[in-house]
């Protein structure tokens, strides 16, 4: 991907849905950017799975140490957009 | 102190019925669930036929978050556990969480999930292996997910003794109840109808490669050619009888006896352990052999193993033609789910006073001259069922299941109820 294509919240939603599922009590299409993953029903393993999927699809690796800081969808979107893809 | 362990709930996810009554009416009608494999294209594989739970849709049964992180085998197990708890009329949230136990049997873990991840490993590389592989494919995954979902944090475990596992888990659940556990979910499921699963199983040489679902699995028949695998199984809710009575629970029956044995090494010339397992289970129940009204056979479908089981039954009962049945001819062998489903069938047989049939067997093999209940259900006065199970690798287990009510000595009302059940099954068959 090129620098001009920004990673969007909708793309993240799609990855979350696909690889980790959605809790029935959560409206993932709603205003979730600043909700914590825990509030959205995603545990640490789910976030690991989501970041692994991002690495596969976008080539952006998220080191394990960084994952604990990425507690909301907005954090992940920002993190990905701040880093160039590995190619 | 030995508390009496009773079964108060049954959840069934079987190739010929999802839910207790769907399974039971299909079974009494002799309607099986064996078919050409559809979960993958079996062309070129050593197994063509299996019992598949065709009407199961995970998204209709399970939380959306759970589905991607668990194998099909766990989906079936979670569904069976939920059905069993609902059938028992128990809300686990109302019971202290450390008084609730889960012990299931597992035979191959999350085989299909594991295959998909291993495919990613060899074709794309390690970073493509999903994080959920770590929790989805190991044997205890189903027990763990049931425990988490229902808040059951007492003693939990998994038993891996192949097709004997359902009985071994039941025996362990009874042990937990005797040690003070208030309620245990037990049983087993399997779902390894995938290329990795059937290829691994075929290494034993015991599976049937036949393509005709009606001729592929014929235990005790002169034309037996091995067995076919199936997916699904059953979960049971086991409780202390006094506690079940106190909450007004309906009781299906009692786990009166259980025993497990292990075969001597191949070539030793010594008798395999099945007979000893049956004798020990009856001794454990404090019942004589004469008390057994029906035997649910292991029914390997492999000529030598069939002859051994038939000879064992004949020797046990000293020539008394005890009714024997193998409703698993309608589901295939379900591995960890197989004996659990047999226990469910035994409990329902005791409830309705009717022996479910064995289907497809035309001509008994020499050495297999059993009083096999074939093709149609047989009304009978049933107070005690003996369930036999053998797991590949030398495992044997036997369970003695007795009816909830005292055995009725007057046959009249019993026969009426069994006749009604069979009439209902007949109607369904015609429709």
Q: Looking at chain B from residue 37 to 66, which residues have their Cβ under 8 Å from any Cβ of chain A?
A: 63-66
List chain B domain ranges.
5-246, 256-430
DSSP string covering B220-238:
TBTT---B-BB-EEEEEEE
**What fold does the segment set B256-430 form as a domain?**
Peroxisomal Thiolase; Chain A, domain 1 (3.40.47)
pLDDT by residue (tens digit) across B366-415? 999 999 999 999 999 999 999 999 999 999 999 999 997 654 444 434 44
Question: Which of B312, B278, B309, B283 lies closest to B399, judged by CA?
Answer: B278
B contacts of A49 (beta carbons < 8 Å): 69, 130-132
Q: Is the dihedral of CA A15, A18, A19, A25 positive or negative?
A: positive
pLDDT tens per residue across all 431 residues of chain B: 478 999 999 999 999 999 999 999 999 999 999 999 999 999 999 999 999 999 899 999 999 999 999 999 999 999 999 999 999 999 999 999 999 999 999 999 999 999 999 999 999 999 899 999 999 999 999 999 999 999 999 999 999 999 999 999 999 999 999 999 999 999 999 999 999 999 999 999 999 999 999 999 999 999 999 999 999 999 999 999 999 999 999 999 999 999 999 999 989 999 999 999 999 999 999 999 999 999 999 999 999 999 999 999 999 999 899 999 999 999 999 999 999 999 999 999 999 999 999 999 999 999 999 999 999 999 999 999 999 999 999 999 999 999 976 544 444 344 445 555 555 555 555 54
pLDDT for B431: 44
- State how far residue A46 is from chain B, nearest Cα, in angstroms: 8
Q: Is B84 exposed, middle or buried (0-12, 13-18, 19+ CB in 10 A)?
A: buried
**If you compute the radius of gyration of chain B from its CA atoms, what whole number of angstroms results?**
20
Q: Which of B64, B127, B132 sits opposite A45 (nearest CB)?
A: B132
Residue-level pLDDT at B413: 40
- What is the least distance, in Å, from the CA of B65 to any CA of chain A? 4
In chain A, how long is the greatest CA-to-CA distance? 37
- Whether this prediction's pTM lies above 0.95 is answered by no
pLDDT of residue B190: 98
Cα B373 from chain centre: 19
Closest CA to B288 of B402, B194, B189, B204: B402
Q: What is the pLDDT of residue B4?
A: 93
A83 falls in which pLDDT band (50, 70, 90)?
confident
Are the beta carbons of A23 and B65 separated by less than 8 Å? yes
Over range A45-54, report the average pLDDT: 94
Question: What are the φ and ψ backbone dihedral angles of B62, each rounded to 5 degrees?
Answer: -130, 155
pLDDT score at B3: 82
pLDDT of residue B422: 56
- Alpha-carbon span B198 to B189, nearest angstrom: 16
Residue A68 exposed, middle or buried by CB count within 10 Å (0-12, 13-18, 19+): exposed
Chain B residue closest in CA terms to A19: B68
CB contact under 8 A, A20 and B65: yes
- The verdict on a CB contact (< 8 Å) between A56 and B127 is yes
Question: What is the arithmetic mean of pLDDT over A41-58?
Answer: 93
- Backbone φ and ψ for A73, nearest 5 degrees, come out as -55, -40
- Per DSSP, helices labelled H in B154-273 are 165-178, 195-202, 241-246
Where do the domains of chain A lie?
3-81
Whether residue B131 and residue A56 make contact (CB cut-off 8 A), yes or no, is: no
Which CATH code of 3.20.20.70, 3.90.440.10, 3.90.1210.10, 3.40.47.10 fits the domain covering B5-246?
Answer: 3.40.47.10
The CATH class for the domain spanning A3-81 reads: mainly alpha
Same fold, B5-246 and B256-430: yes
């Amino acid at each position: 991907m090129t620098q001009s294509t920004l990673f969007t919240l909708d793309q993240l939603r799609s990855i979350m849905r696909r690889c980790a599922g959605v809790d029935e009590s959560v409206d993932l299409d709603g205003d979730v950017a600043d909700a914590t993953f825990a509030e959205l029903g995603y545990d640490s393993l789910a976030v690991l799975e989501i970041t692994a999927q991002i690495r596969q699809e976008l080539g952006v690796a998220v080191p394990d140490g960084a994952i604990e800081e990425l507690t909301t969808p907005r954090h992940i979107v920002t993190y990905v957009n701040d880093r160039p893809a590995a190619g | 102190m030995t508390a009496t362990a009773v079964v108060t709930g049954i959840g069934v996810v079987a190739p010929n019925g999802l839910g207790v009554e769907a399974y039971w009416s299909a079974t009494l009608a002799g309607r099986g669930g064996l078919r050409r494999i559809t979960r993958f294209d079996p062309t070129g594989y050593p197994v063509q036929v299996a019992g598949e739970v065709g009407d199961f849709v995970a998204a209709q049964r399970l939380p959306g978050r759970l589905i991607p992180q668990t194998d099909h085998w766990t989906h079936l197990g979670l569904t069976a556990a939920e059905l069993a708890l609902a059938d028992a009329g128990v809300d686990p949230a109302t019971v202290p969480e450390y008084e609730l136990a889960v012990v299931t049997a597992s035979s191959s873990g999350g085989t299909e999930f594991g295959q998909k991840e291993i495919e990613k490993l060899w074709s794309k590389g390690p970073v493509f292996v999903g994080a959920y592989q770590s929790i989805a494919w190991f044997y205890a995954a189903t027990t763990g997910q049931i425990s988490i979902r229902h808040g059951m944090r007492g003693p939990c475990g998994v038993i891996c003794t192949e097709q004997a596992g359902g009985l071994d888990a039941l025996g362990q659940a009874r042990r937990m109840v005797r040690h003070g556990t208030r309620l245990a979910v037990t049983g087993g499921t399997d779902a390894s109808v995938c290329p990795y699963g059937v290829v691994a199983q075929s290494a034993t040489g015991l599976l049937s490669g036949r393509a005709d679902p009606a001729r592929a699995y014929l235990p005790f028949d002169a034309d037996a050619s091995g067995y076919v695998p199936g997916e699904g199984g059953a979960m049971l809710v086991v409780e202390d009888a006094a506690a079940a009575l106190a909450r007004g629970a309906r009781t299906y029956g009692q786990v009166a006896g259980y025993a497990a044995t292990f075969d001597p090494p191949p070539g030793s010339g010594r008798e395999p352990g099945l007979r000893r397992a049956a004798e020990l289970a009856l001794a454990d129940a404090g019942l004589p052999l004469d008390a057994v009204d029906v035997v649910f056979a292991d029914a390997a479908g492999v000529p030598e193993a069939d002859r051994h089981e038939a000879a064992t039954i004949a020797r046990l009962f000293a020539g008394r033609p005890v009714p024997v049945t193998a409703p698993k001819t309608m589901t295939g062998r379900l591995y960890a789910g197989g004996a659990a489903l047999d226990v469910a069938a035994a409990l329902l047989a005791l409830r309705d006073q009717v022996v479910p049939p064995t289907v497809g067997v035309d001509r008994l093999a020499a050495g297999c001259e059993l009083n096999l209940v074939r093709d149609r259900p047989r009304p009978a006065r049933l107070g005690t069922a003996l369930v036999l199970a053998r797991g590949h690798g030398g495992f044997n287990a036997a369970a003695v299941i007795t009816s909830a009510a005292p055995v009725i000595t007057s046959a009249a009302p019993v026969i009426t109820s069994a006749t009604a059940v069979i009439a209902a099954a007949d109607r369904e068959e015609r429709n």
